[in-house]
Amino acid sequence: MGGLDELALQYQPLLPENRTRGIGIVGAGEIVQAAHLPAYQKAGYRVVGIYDIDSAKARRVADMFQIRTVFDSLSALLEADEVEIVDIAVPATQVRSVVEAAVGRNKHILCQKPLAESYDEARAIAAICASGRGKAAVNQQMRWAPGIQASYDIIRRGWLGTVTQATIQVNVLTPWDHWPWMTGVKGMELLYHSIHYLDAIRYLVGDDPDYLFADGAKFPGQPWAADTRTTVMMHFPGELRALIHDNHNNWAPQNDWYATFRFEGTRGIVKGTNGALYDYPVGRGDTLSFLSQDVEPHTWITPQLAGRWFPDAFMGSMGELMRAIDEEREPQNSVQDNLKTLRMVFAAIRSIEEKRPVWLEELT
């Protein structure tokens, strides 16, 4: 091997050279305040206005982040020439109507995840996006979390050899009552949480599974209708397998909680933690260690990763859309690509309902 520079992982979000494109944000909720706007400020993106059906909340958020314009309607935001990109941060049930209006004005779009709460609705939204002249992406931002992006770079360099196993495990206590509007949604845990892990695994291994088997359960006495414990096993072509295990009911002190990932191959292993779920809601930075027969065969290498999933990864999802606009190509996180992740999500939901493995080809 060469010097230390050769081992420097490329895991920071790639930002566009042109950061002057005007962003108009639809929605002023918790995720916008905690992640979108802090990330955009850090990256130097230009937010020109915001709209929310709760105008008072929109004004409070605008004051917090020095946003010049609070639009009094969605139409007003879309009619503004300086708004080139519409950042749609509303519940999934409202995405389609905003997308239709934005596409009608030839805007570029970044949609919040999940794109929709049914596969048919997601495909309909994708068709609407395809009919417009703008680029359309989904804010599936965990791809740009430091630990995941560093793992991607390690896999890209071939240091794991052939990837054989991907495992993500989470055991925490999640305050679902913060989001009462989602707790009755069928497949809530998969649609609003594990979707990140399904997408990350797709991204890292560069392939879709043949089929998957999933199971879900509740915690005795929980007030929420939806499952809060899920397990998903994925069967890929060849010898690659993947597992996601999520438990949101760990009542022990936080020093017992964990959120880990591990990706194994024929020549290496990478493992780490998803820091956002430690010391919740404050969070920590991600950690990562890797071992490779092609780097230091008997030594675990533990680089220090800068940044966090929240908010730093949000620089990546918006930045990738901006770079795709500049380079006149489809974004890596395009709406069409996200349909493949959603197909996995809805296959897992069907698997839980029907208590059987579900082949992805069943969802067309």
The per-residue b/e assignment along 191-212, b for 16 or more CB within 10 angstroms, e otherwise, is bbbbbbbbbbbbbbbeebbebb
Is the peptide bond between 311 and the residue preceding it cis, with omega within 30 degrees of 0? yes
- Percent of the chain beyond pLDDT 90? 96
Per residue in 154-170, pLDDT (tens digit) is: 999 999 999 999 999 99
The pLDDT assigned to 7 comes to 78
pLDDT in tens, 292-347: 999 999 999 999 999 999 999 999 999 999 999 999 999 999 999 999 999 999 99
Residue range 170-189: average pLDDT?
Answer: 94
Statement: 22-140 belongs to CATH 3.40.50.720: yes
On the question of pLDDT at 189 being above 50, the answer is yes
Query: Which pLDDT score, from 0 to 100, does residue 2 have?
Result: 38
pLDDT tens digit sequence for 231-278: 999 999 999 999 999 999 999 999 999 999 999 999 999 999 999 999
Dihedral sign of CA atoms 112, 147, 175, 353 in order: positive
Contact present, 80 and 72 (Cβ < 8 Å): no
The pLDDT of residue 251 is 97
Q: Say if residue 84's pLDDT is above 60.
A: yes
Residue 344 to residue 363: CA distance in whole angstroms: 9
Which pLDDT does position 231 carry in this prediction? 98
pLDDT tens, residue by residue, 6-49: 579 999 999 999 999 999 999 999 999 999 999 999 999 999 99
pLDDT of residue 123: 98
Q: Hey, what amino acid is at 15?
A: L
Q: Is the pLDDT of residue 356 over 70?
A: yes
CA nearest 280: which of 296, 259, 307, 305? 259
Domain ranges of the chain: 22-140, 142-314+343-354
CATH class, 142-314+343-354 region: alpha beta
- Evaluate if residue 87 carries a pLDDT over 90: yes
For the residues 210-239, what does the mean pLDDT come to? Answer: 97
Q: Is the pLDDT of residue 4 over 60?
A: no
- Percent of the chain whose predicted confidence (pLDDT) is above 70: 98
Which tokens belong to 80? 């503004």
Q: Cβ atoms within 10 A of the Cβ of 14, count?
A: 12
Q: How far apart are CA 206 and CA 200, in angstroms?
A: 10
